[in-house]
Amino acid sequence: MSLPNIDTNYLTKFLVDLLNIPSPTGFTQDAIAFVEKELSQFKELELSRTRKGALVAKWQGISDDAPVALTAHVDTLGAMVKDIKPNGRLQLTRIGGLVLNGVETEGCWVHTSKGEKVRGSFMLNMSAAHVYGAKASETKRDEDAMEVRIDARVSNPQETRELGIEIGDFVSFDPRVELTNGFIRSRHLDDKACVAAIVTAIKSLTEASLSPARTVYFHISNYEEVGHGASAGIPPDVHELVTVDMAAIGAGQSSDEYHATICVKDSGGPYHHGLSNKLRQVADANNIPYKVDIYPFYGSDGEAFWRAGGDVAVALIGPGVDASHNYERTHIDALTATTNWILAYLLS
């Protein structure tokens, strides 16, 4: 049996829309609501939210034996206001493994607790080359050396507070999405690219009037970047958990932007050999191009569930993403391969 068609225009549009919704870990309600609204058009799905705020979609399969789950996360790197400085600017504390020089000079939003948005940009304190000379390039980029320059007339903490800004407000960085020659360049392709792949796979199946072979739960996680996203929300009757998350590209890595990858080992150790082999077999049987890789500095939501005591087989697949946790890039070929792999697995 051949796999159903993938609507790549839909995949790309959904991905771009999701990328443009700010969702640093802890502030994911808009992104979760967006995915929920999209999935609500598929009547086969039974939607619910966990108390922690993740989205779960259940799809009754042809067989109810040994249900499976797929997880991908909508939360992203970001920051929070740590302090309002004497000059009225903001010192930040990172959320997740943000690479600070990767967001230097980037536009950002401060999300106040009252729901207002204040615009600014993230700068080195000593960024003026005509004043600080070599320090503008040589200063080590860390939280103390950088600040948010707010686009408002503020020069002291009181004026900043009058904008509604307080310590603890979330800060999101502009994703800067651009599509060129099949490449998708944006922050936070980790892991919105995989959420888009899952939603597109669901659309492909429903349009082909197909059902998953086994009952499946789609878990859209909202705390992955801090290490405990899928530690809750995977139902206890699930036998296999396929984590769908980005593949790491760089020196010594086999992953690239044109393939999906199966990761067999990362910082958390080996994945489940039997499930990994099964995923390889379904990829081979459906001519899905993939790589096998090991990620040196990486943990996944599947492992978070393992650490929380989840008794399931866990595997990890996903598209190659260049410059991860930085200004990322992938290609539609990797997204298509990932979506096909999800389809093949669901039908297996």
Q: Is 122 left (phi over 0), alpha (psi -120 to 50) or beta?
A: beta
Check residue 301 for interaction with Zn ion (CB under 5 A): no
Q: Annotate each residue in 194-233 with x if it binds Zn ion (CB under 5 A) or - if it does not, as one string.
A: ----------------------------------------
Spatial separation of the C-alpha atoms in residues 61 and 240, rounded to whole Å: 14
Among 147, 191, 240, 266, binds Zn ion (CB under 5 A): 191
Nearer Cβ to Zn ion (6/316) = 316
Nearer Cβ to Zn ion (25/121) = 25
Segments of 202-251 assigned E as strands: 214-221, 240-244, 247-248
Check residue 190 for interaction with Zn ion (CB under 5 A): yes
Nearer Cβ to Zn ion (190/240) = 190
What's the residue count for the chain? 348
Sign of CA dihedral 151, 156, 158, 161: positive
Helix (H) or strand (E) holding 346: helix 332-347
Q: At what angle do helices 29-39 and 189-207 cross, to 10 degrees?
A: 10
Q: Please identify the residue of the shown chain whose CB is closest to the bound Zn ion.
A: 191
Which range in 9-17, 98-106, 137-145, 186-194 contacts Zn ion by CB under 5 A?
A: 186-194
Catalytic position from the list 38, 224, 225, 303: 224
> What's the one-letter identity of residue 136?
A
Strand partners, 148: 90, 122
Q: Quick check: helix, strand or coil at residue 311? A: coil
For the question of residue 224 being annotated catalytic, the response is yes
Minimum distance between the CB of residue 225 and Zn ion, rounded to whole angstroms? 7
Which range in 25-33, 64-72, 108-116, 182-190 contacts Zn ion by CB under 5 A?
A: 182-190
User: Considering only residues 235-254, where is the footprint of Zn ion by CB under 5 A?
Assistant: 245
Nearer Cβ to Zn ion (147/191) = 191
Which two tokens mark 153?
């007339």
User: Considering only residues 60-79, where is the footprint of Zn ion by CB under 5 A?
Assistant: none
Chain centroid to Cα 55, Å, comes to 14
Residues annotated as catalytic (active site), given as ranges: 224
Footprint on this chain of Zn ion (rule: CB under 5 A): 190-191, 245
